[in-house]
Amino acid sequence: MLHILLLLLKIIGFILLFLLLIILLVLITPIRYQFEVRKEDESPPYLKVQVTWFIRAVSVTVSYIDQVLSYGAKVLGIQIAGNQPEYLARKEEKQKKKEARRKKKEEEQTEEARREKKEEEQTEEARREKIEEGQTEKAGSTDNSDTPGQMEQETPELSAVSVENVEEQEKPLPGTSSPKEENSEKKDDIPEPGKNQKKADQEQKRIDREQRKAEKAKKKEEKKAAKAKVNEQKRAAKKKKKEEKKSAEGEKASESGKLTQLLDKVKEVKSTYDEYHGEALIRKAFTLLGKVLKHVRPRRLTGYLKFGMDDPAVTGYITGALAVFYPVYRSNFTVEPVFYEKCLSVNCRGSGRIRPIYFIYLGIWLILDKNVRRLIKLVICR
């Protein structure tokens, strides 16, 4: 048992060591990039950028040539993305083959389903025929079993029963009268013409009284509704005047309130800046930016740059900005400013590398600063 446990621990240890080596390899292996830029005065620009990782196991290429943007990505030499015509043609051909295989498979499935359905129909028809044959055989056996003597004995009994039923239907039920008696009673119930006219007049008078009452009630309701509408309009006008007055007062107060809120916010930012040593944090941020730029800058840069702007002052400003980086590349790269005309001519190549583990180092370097830790706590607490 102990031997098996030690063997399992060894296997787990080797797996963890393998994963750790892969992570270290990913972090240490640099991401390399190369670029090439060409532009003359009248010619269209030429730009090409290539990024590779792990001995070109993964590569991404982006180019802008003859005013056409193209890109592509490869993994182990196999292209997985891009917009080049060759790649798109291969992708379309693969899609067509896949679609043809899918259609063929669907046709096979439909043919198989049709065949199965036909077999089921044949079996169902055979079963139905067997059932019909059995029913016809039973019917033939029952017809042979019935004799003429039995039929003759049954018919007199049926005729006697039908006669008795007819006699019973003609007899009146107990407690009811015959049709002749009902007709005589209806003749006795017919009222006289004078009585009917009197009743109709009374009913008409009653209807007229109800209509007059309904009209009076309707007019009363209309008067009440009109009065309520006028009162509602008056109340709405008063309410609108009050709201306008309040809004005017609120606008005045809001203007002064916004100014006070802005001043309070400025004071709060200043107090936070002083409390968390904002000046030291800004210096730290500029130091971090310098470290990142120094790490990602091109290691090799060759070529030249000739440029000129409409305003000579702008040309001077750009030349001053480029002069900051010129000591690094002065041996292989030249800058030629033109102050008397507008022009642009460039031809350069460069390459560099980026190590992911360096950014982990920068993160640890930042966290070790107490001011940064205090700022992080402030952000998390808020």
The mean per-residue pLDDT over the stretch 28-35 comes to 94
Q: Which pLDDT value is given to residue 19?
A: 95
Q: Which one-letter amino acid corresponds to residue 356?
A: P
- Of 80, 56, 81, 58, the closest CA to residue 71 belongs to 81
Residue 103 phi, psi (nearest 5): -65, -40
Distance separating alpha carbons of residues 363 and 144, to the nearest angstrom:
106
Contact 307, 378 (CB under 8 A): no
pLDDT at 271 over 70: yes
Question: Which of helix, strand or coil describes residue 345?
Answer: strand
Distance separating alpha carbons of residues 154 and 82, to the nearest angstrom:
96
pLDDT at 160 over 70: no
The tens digit of pLDDT for each residue in 62-117 reads: 999 888 899 999 999 899 999 888 888 888 898 899 999 999 999 999 988 888 88
Residue 205 phi, psi (nearest 5): -60, -40
DSSP 8-state symbol, 69: E
The region of weakest confidence among 76-80, 269-273, 288-292 is 269-273
Name the strands in the sheet holding 58-65, side by side, starting at the edge strand that comes first in the sequence.
Answer: 78-82, 68-75, 58-65, 46-53, 31-39, 343-354, 300-308, 333-337
Distance separating alpha carbons of residues 296 and 223, to the nearest angstrom:
87
Confidence of residue 36 (pLDDT cuts 50, 70, 90): very high
Distance separating alpha carbons of residues 239 and 248, to the nearest angstrom:
14
Positive or negative, the CA dihedral 178, 180, 182, 185 is negative
Q: Which one-letter amino acid corresponds to residue 152?
A: E
Question: In the chain, what's the furthest Cα-to-Cα distance?
Answer: 139
The region of weakest confidence among 151-165, 268-282, 294-308, 347-361 is 151-165
Confidence of residue 380 (pLDDT cuts 50, 70, 90): confident
pLDDT at 261 over 70: yes
Tokens read off for 109 = 């499935």
pLDDT at 215 over 50: yes
Segment holding 283, helix H or strand E: helix 278-296
pLDDT at 172 over 60: no
The mean per-residue pLDDT over the stretch 336-356 comes to 92
Domain boundaries, the chain: 278-381
The region of weakest confidence among 117-126, 196-205, 355-364 is 196-205
Residue 173 phi, psi (nearest 5): -75, 155
Higher pLDDT, residue 167 or 221: 221
